[in-house]
Structure 1
Amino acid sequence: MSRPEDLLRDLRIDRRPEARRPASHRKWVALAVLAALVLAVLAWRATRPVVVDTALARPAAEAGPPTLLDASGFVTARRIATVSSKVTGRVAEVLIEEGMKVEEGQLLARLDPTDARAQLELATAQLASSESQLAEARTQLALAETTLARQQELLGRRLVSQAAYDQARADRDARAARLASLEKAVEVAREQRALALIGVENTEIRAPFSGVIVAKAAQPGEMVSPLSAGGGFTRTGIGTLVDMDSLEVNVDVNEAYIGRVQPKMGVNAVLNAYPDWTIPGSVIAIVPTADRSKATVKVRIALDSRDPRIVPDMGVRVSFLAPVDPEAPPPSGALVPEAAIVRASGEDGARPAVFVLEEGRVRRVEVVLGAEANAERQVTAGLVGGETVVVAPPPGLRDGERAVPRSPRR
């Protein structure tokens, strides 16, 4: 076995100069590794293409007329009704649901008809009684006419007295008067029955016009009344009906710019729910009153589309279009997003430019700018339309650099 002194000698650290490596050598090795990593990163970045957002330059001739004014508003319906009954009653049946299309005159709901039918049965019975009495009176009048004629003949032959003849004539006149009274009573009974029949019909709630149900307000068992009862347990309507063919747009235009708007001028409407869908339309009328709190004037706009995606109370942005001269030449150049324009800074004589992406590389093209409209800028020289331009070029992007589109958009 080894002695403890030998074991301790084996564990001793050798501190002789020839056993240590120089510190300067380790420093140069670390610098060489760092330089190699930097060169590798630079080489990788030099070969990696830049990812950019792109858009397609549109020919200016296809862009349509320029925009004079932008405004926002909402889709509204000219024909909208809360359908209710003519009488107060308890709901027996509801035949509608939200989103249901109904035609004019279609049955929407029924009220409990018990009382109305009882009134109808009573009026029918009264009419039958009056008609029976009228038939009896007609028979009695016919008998009185016959009796009077006989008495008149006997009076001429002096077989009866004048008093008997006068009695027969008075009886005939009384029965004729009673017949006329019963005829009026029958007419009144018929009117009462017709009124009771209307009461039964009033328990059936029907659509006043064709449209779509947008709200269902009552359930079977609830009370409904055309007038509010002042409490929270009586409904004033069965549901809300909207005529989708009467939809239009109402926008508020600043009164300082209302002079630019004219009736029948063209517009482009964009719903907030569908920002990529442009709907053509025209101005119906300018409402001749102003809102003093907002300093705006309301303008009514008709939409050329009857698409089911257009629903009431949707937000909409409207662009009023300038009138187009049919004899004017079409505009030249292209339209590009305003964010695609690169403006030179600190360079004398340098013009604005755009970067055009071609075959995986960007090319810097100097352009001449025109009018701006709807976040787009017209380029009158340098582009013709159809080119793929870089939107919001990243800082340091150079002419001829490799690039790939991230998400091309129109």
Structure 2
Amino acid sequence: MSENNLPISSALNKEQRRKKLLIGLAGIVGIAGVSAAAYWLVYSSHFVATDNAYAAVEIAQVTPSVGGTIGEVLVTDTQAVKAGDILVRIDPTDARLALAQAEADLGRATRRVKGFVANDGSLGAQIAARDADEKRAAAQLGSAEADFERARIDLKRREALAASGSVSGDELTRAQNAFASAQGNLAAARAAAEQAKANRSTALSTREANAVLIAGSEESNPEIALARARRDQAAVDLERTVVRAPVDGVVAKRQVQLGQRVQAGMPLLAIVPIQQMHVDANFKEVQLEKVRVGQPVKLHADIYGSGVTYHGTVEGFSGGSGAAFSAIPAQNATGNWIKVVQRLPVRVKLDAKELEANPLKVGLSMQAEIDTRSQN
């Protein structure tokens, strides 16, 4: 009996050990699951991450403000430059000639206005002379009127006496001639008086017109101001023949060549301000529920690997998804439609010191993780 019971007891022991192992394994799996859930609820659920992120920056396009022939190119692609450094020189010959012409025009305008000022005194003297002429003509008119009245009375008397034969025909004729002469002199005196008055009015109008030309100070005179503005514009155009870097950065996309004829606004090259680099991280729309501006971000660049960590902050959100701004936007108003989770670009500002220590280039791949625990 004892020999037959041994196999049965051994089998029971093995079954019990197996159950214990299974229970222990289940316990371990349960503990691991609870731990993972707790880790997710307490920590991991507060972070969102993406590897669809790229370094970006607002590139400065360098274009000339004036046209001309390229006389010198001082930079090449990949060269670092500082704001104010000379990049390109345009042949200044045309600009110098334009400046010289503008300065000559300014001098001519200044002399012309000074002539107007000097002419004002002459016009004043002319008005005084015309006043005297008008007074003289008025006196002559008065004299002619007196002579005419005397000749008229004299003729009237002679005509009355001629009827009675007291006055000879010759004397009557002389009286008639004197009356006709006095009448002509009166008409001439009246015309002279009108002419003197008109001459005075003309002189006054001329002086008033000249006064308008010299109104205000010489510096504020419109003619001089216009010539000065053209001179200043020509000076600015001459200065703009030297094209300088607008920002610190690295030269890229250089297209300009020595001897090339360029027009104002034509692209010459670009400057990438790498010290102002930021990251555009494209998160899925379902990840952005708790993301707010100002939240901290940790980033890694593929070029440096996980050994270099950048720290940044969420600076803002794009106004639309990438699909909305694509060259050919998706047309979802169709019968066969499949929902696609969209991505929204999130702009991340980088720490300037970290960026200086480990510079980035436009378009480099990044990995971004946002800590959403801070709800600003």
Say whether the fold is shared (TM-score over 0.5).
yes
Which of the residues 241, 262, 274 maps onto 1:244?
274
Look up the equivalent residue of 2:205 and give its one-letter code: D
Do structure 1's residue 281 and structure 2's residue 319 form an aligned pair? Answer: no
Alignment of 1:255 onto 2:285: yes
Q: Secondary structure at the match of 1:256?
A: helix
Question: Quick one: which of 74, 80, 105 aligns to 1:100?
Answer: 80
TM-score, normalising length from structure 1? Answer: 0.53
Shift of 1:75: 0.8
CA distance in 2: counterparts of 1:188 and 1:303, whole angstroms: 49
- Offset of 1:316 from its aligned partner? 0.9
Q: Distance in 2 between matches of 1:283 and 1:191?
A: 47
- Give the alignment partner of residue 110 of structure 1, picking from 89, 92, 103: 89
Query: CA RMSD, aligned part only?
Result: 3.3
User: Which AA in structure 1 matches 2:56?
Assistant: T
| 1:173 and 2:208 correspond | no
Q: 1:115 & 1:129 partners in 2: Cα distance?
A: 21
Partner in structure 2 of residue 317 of structure 1: 367
CA distance in 1, matches of 2:208, 2:86: 48
Amino acid at match of 1:317: Q
- Structure 2 residues not aligned, in runs of 5+: 1-42, 141-191, 215-220, 324-329, 331-339
Instruction: Tell whether the 8 Å contact from 2:130 to 2:199 is kept in structure 1 after alignment.
Output: no
CA distance in structure 2 between the partners assigned to 1:209 and 1:173 by the alignment: 59
Question: Residue type of the partner of 1:302?
Answer: K
What do residues 6-61 of structure 1 show as CA deviations (whole Å, max 9, x unaligned)?
A: xxxxxxxxxxxxxxxxxxxxxxxxxxxxxxxxxxxxxxxxxxxxxxxxxxxxxxxx
1:119 aligned counterpart, secondary structure: helix
- Cα 1:280–1:133 change in 2 (3 A) is closer
Q: Which amino acid aligns with 1:263?
A: V
CA distance in 2, matches of 1:283, 1:188: 51
Q: Quick one: higher RCO (CA 8 Å, sep 6+), 1 or 2?
A: 2
User: Aligned partners of 1:194, 1:322: CA distance in 2, in Å?
Assistant: 56
What is the one-letter code of the residue matched to 1:89? G
Within 2, Cα distance between the matches of 1:141 and 1:322?
80
Sort the Cα spacing of 1:115 and 1:156 in 2 relative to 1 into closer, same or farther, 3 A: same
1:304 aligns with 2:342: no
Task: After TM superposition, give the deviation of residue 271 of structure 1 in Å.
Answer: 0.8
Matched, 1:264 2:297: no
Structure 1 residue 83 corresponds to structure 2 residue 68:
no
Give the conservation status (yes or no) of the 8 Å contact 1:137–1:178. yes
Per the alignment, do residues 106 and 166 of structure 1 end up closer, same or farther by CA in structure 2, a change over 3 Å counting? Answer: farther
CA shift digits 1:366-391 (9 cap, x unpaired): xxxxxxxxxxxxxxxxxxxxxxxxxx
Secondary structure at the aligned position of 2:318 is classed as strand
CA distance in 2, matches of 1:159, 1:129: 46
Amino acid at match of 1:277: V
How many residue pairs match? The answer is 251
Q: How does 1:138-153 map to 2 (within 5 A)?
A: 138-149=117-128, 151-152=130-131
Read off the aligned partner of 1:167 and give its amino acid letter: N
> CA-to-partner distance for each residue in 1:112-143, whole Å, 9 max, x for gaps?
22222222222222222232232223222211
Distance of aligned partners of 1:263 and 1:137 in 2 relative to their CA distance in 1, 3 Å threshold: closer
* Alpha-carbon displacement from aligned partner over 1:218-269 (angstroms, at most 9, x marks no partner): 2321223345xxxxxxxx3232123334321111112333325333222210
Q: Which amino acid aligns with 1:304?
A: D
Comparing both structures, which one devotes a greater share of its residues to helix? 2
What is the TM-score with the length of structure 2 in the denominator?
Answer: 0.57
Structure-1 separation of matches of 2:85 and 2:199:
62
**1:216 corresponds to:** 254
Contact 1:102 1:213 (8 Å CA) reproduced: no
Quote the offset at 1:70 in angstroms. 2.2
List per-residue Cα deviations over 1:301-339 (Å, max 9, x = no partner): 1112442323322211112235279xxxxxxxxxxxxxx
Name the amino acid aligned to 1:297: L
Whole-Å separation in 1 of the counterparts to 2:94 and 2:319: 50
The aligned amino acid for 1:80 is I
Contact 1:212–1:244 (CA<8 Å) still a contact in 2?
Answer: yes
CA separation of 1:133 and 1:264: change in aligned 2, threshold 3 A: closer
Query: Identity across aligned pairs (percent)?
Result: 21
| Partner deviation per Cα, 1:97-123 (whole Å, 9 max, x = no partner) | 4332322x5543221222222222222
Q: Higher strand proportion, which one?
A: 1
2:227 corresponds to:
189
Distance in 1 separating the partners of 2:105 and 2:352: 57
Instruction: Tell me how far apart the structure 1 counterparts of residues 224 and 372 of structure 2 sit (CA, whole Å).
Output: 71
